[in-house]
């Protein structure tokens, strides 16, 4: 278990290399380049945070809080700001453990998002994770739009060792959900994970489709806890933020799965989403294999970003 945690932290550190190069290299040059903490210093810090996709909101509060701390503690050396900055960034992105309630009760998890962001992959990875925790998982292949979508999820179901309920291509997604609910009830499943189609919906179609699905869930499975997760592609930076905002307008979004953080310089978007929209990033994806999805942990994320403490930190984190 500890080995596994370490392994993931290592992958996180290496996955965030580009983001780190993008943000942290800039910090270091400021911390060592400035001899005093003045307006120029703050301005440059602000610029790096904005360029690192951390978002206006988070950047503003990080800088304001930093100024306050610096003056209260009478800090004079730019280098001494580094740890304060790390702490401020962490504070922007804490996720309460109650946010994972759906993992611990009978639940339905609806996974939505636009084309190609990693919905099916994330459903597969999440299935593997929950199965490993000893949970009974059923998958609903409610992407009936793309012909190959069912096969793709079936492969994941085999990999994770869980059951899958699908429908014919072109079938009504709500009818697949209906069948999947029946299966989940019959097998006394802990979690029903629903993959959905990612075609670019217009807002009206999306609302209509979600409304039908929610209606079936409310009617057929009223005792299941409903969790709606939006999947966002971390490589798309500000675009991901805009998508999250749009989905939040049409659905009761409980959280975000942020994928493809490996190999992107835009990982700072994780901070922006949390701070701008107040929707927690609950999972992050840092690769294509089944183990490459983990609960988001602000401390581990920011430590990985700054590449600090990564020898001691993993065991102290709540990766499970």
Ligand X SMILES: Nc1nc2c(ncn2[C@@H]2O[C@H](COP(=O)(O)OP(=O)(O)OP(=O)(O)O)[C@@H](O)[C@H]2O)c(=O)[nH]1
SS (H, E, C) 236-298: HCHHHHHHHHHHHHHCCCCEEEEECCCCCCCCCHHHHHHHHHCCCEEEEECCCCCCCEEECCH
Which backbone phi and psi does 294 adopt, to 5 degrees? -140, 160
For ligand X, the closer CB: 199 or 219: 199
Q: Which does 280 bind (CB under 5 to 8 A by kind): ligand X, Mg ion, none?
A: none
> Cβ 21 to ligand X, closest distance in Å?
17
Q: Residue 9 is inside which H or E element, if any?
A: helix 2-15
Binding segment (CB under 6 A) for ligand X, from list 81-89, 165-173, 184-192, 287-295: 287-295
Q: Which residue is nearest to Mg ion, using beta carbons?
A: 120
Residues touching ligand X, count (CB under 6 A) = 20
Among 5, 90, 119, 129, binds ligand X (CB under 6 A): 119
Among 22, 259, 294, 303, binds ligand X (CB under 6 A): 259
For Mg ion, the closer CB: 57 or 154: 154
> Does residue 278 contact residue 60 with C-beta atoms inside 8 Å?
no
For ligand X, the closer CB: 62 or 112: 112
Give start and end residues of each alpha helix (H) in 52-172.
56-72, 81-91, 119-132, 149-160
> Cβ 198 to Mg ion, closest distance in Å?
6
* Interface with ligand X, residue 121, by CB under 6 A: yes
Which residues, 6 or more positions from 303, have their beta carbon under 8 angstroms from its beta carbon? 86, 309, 310, 313
* Interface with ligand X, residue 137, by CB under 6 A: no
Q: Which does 118 bind (CB under 5 to 8 A by kind): ligand X, Mg ion, none?
A: ligand X
> Does residue 143 contact residue 153 with C-beta atoms inside 8 Å?
yes
Tokens 């999306």 belong to which residue?
206
Among 275, 285, 297, 300, binds ligand X (CB under 6 A): 285
DSSP letter string, 165-220: E---TT--HHHHHHHHHHHHHHTT-SEEEEEE--S---HHHHHHHHHHHHHHHHHH
> Cβ 234 to ligand X, closest distance in Å?
8
* Interface with ligand X, residue 147, by CB under 6 A: no
Site for ligand X in 44-83 (CB under 6 A): none
Please classify residue 106 by burial: count the beta carbons closer than 10 Å to its beta carbon, then call 0-12 exposed, 13-18 middle and 19+ buried: middle
> What gap in Å lies between CA 173 and CA 163, rounded to an integer?
18
Among 38, 43, 288, 307, binds ligand X (CB under 6 A): 288
* Interface with ligand X, residue 286, by CB under 6 A: yes
For Mg ion, the closer CB: 54 or 114: 114
* Interface with ligand X, residue 287, by CB under 6 A: yes
> Does residue 28 contact residue 22 with C-beta atoms inside 8 Å?
no
Fill in the DSSP letter of residue 311. Answer: T
For ligand X, the closer CB: 81 or 229: 229
- Enumerate binding residues for Mg ion (CB under 5 A): 119-120
* Interface with ligand X, residue 280, by CB under 6 A: no
Q: Which residues bind ligand X (CB under 6 A)?
A: 113, 115-121, 143, 146, 149, 198, 259-260, 262, 285-288, 292
């Amino acid at each position: 278990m500890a080995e596994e945690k370490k392994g993931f932290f290592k992958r996180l550190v290496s996955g965030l290399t580009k983001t780190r190069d993008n943000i942290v290299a800039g910090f270091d040059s400021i911390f060592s380049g400035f001899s005093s903490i003045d307006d120029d210093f703050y301005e440059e810090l602000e610029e790096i945070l904005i360029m690192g996709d951390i978002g206006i909101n988070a950047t503003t509060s990080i800088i304001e809080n930093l100024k306050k701390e610096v003056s209260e503690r009478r800090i004079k050396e730019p280098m001494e700001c580094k740890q304060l900055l790390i702490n401020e960034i962490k504070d922007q992105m804490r996720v309460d453990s109650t946010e994972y309630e759906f993992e611990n009760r009978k639940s339905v998890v609806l996974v939505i998002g636009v084309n190609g962001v990693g919905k099916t992959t994330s459903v597969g990875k999440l299935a593997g994770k929950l199965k490993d925790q000893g949970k009974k998982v059923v998958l609903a292949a409610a992407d009936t739009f793309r012909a190959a979508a069912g096969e793709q999820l079936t492969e994941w179901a085999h990999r994770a060792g869980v059951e899958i309920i699908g429908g014919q291509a072109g079938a009504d997604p709500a009818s697949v959900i209906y069948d999947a609910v029946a299966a989940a009830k019959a097998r006394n499943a802990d979690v029903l994970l629903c993959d959905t189609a990612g075609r670019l919906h217009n807002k009206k179609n999306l609302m209509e489709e979600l409304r039908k699905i929610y209606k079936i869930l409310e009617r057929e499975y009223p005792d299941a806890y409903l969790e709606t997760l939006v999947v966002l592609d971390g490589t798309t930076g500000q675009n991901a933020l805009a998508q999250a905002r749009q989905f939040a307008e049409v659905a009761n979004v409980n959280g975000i799965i942020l994928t493809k953080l490996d190999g992107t310089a835009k990982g700072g978007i994780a901070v922006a989403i949390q701070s701008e929209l107040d929707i927690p990033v609950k999972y992050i994806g840092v690769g294509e294999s089944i183990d490459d999805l983990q609960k988001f942990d602000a401390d581990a994320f920011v430590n990985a970003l700054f590449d600090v403490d990564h020898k001691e930190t993993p065991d102290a984190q709540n990766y499970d």
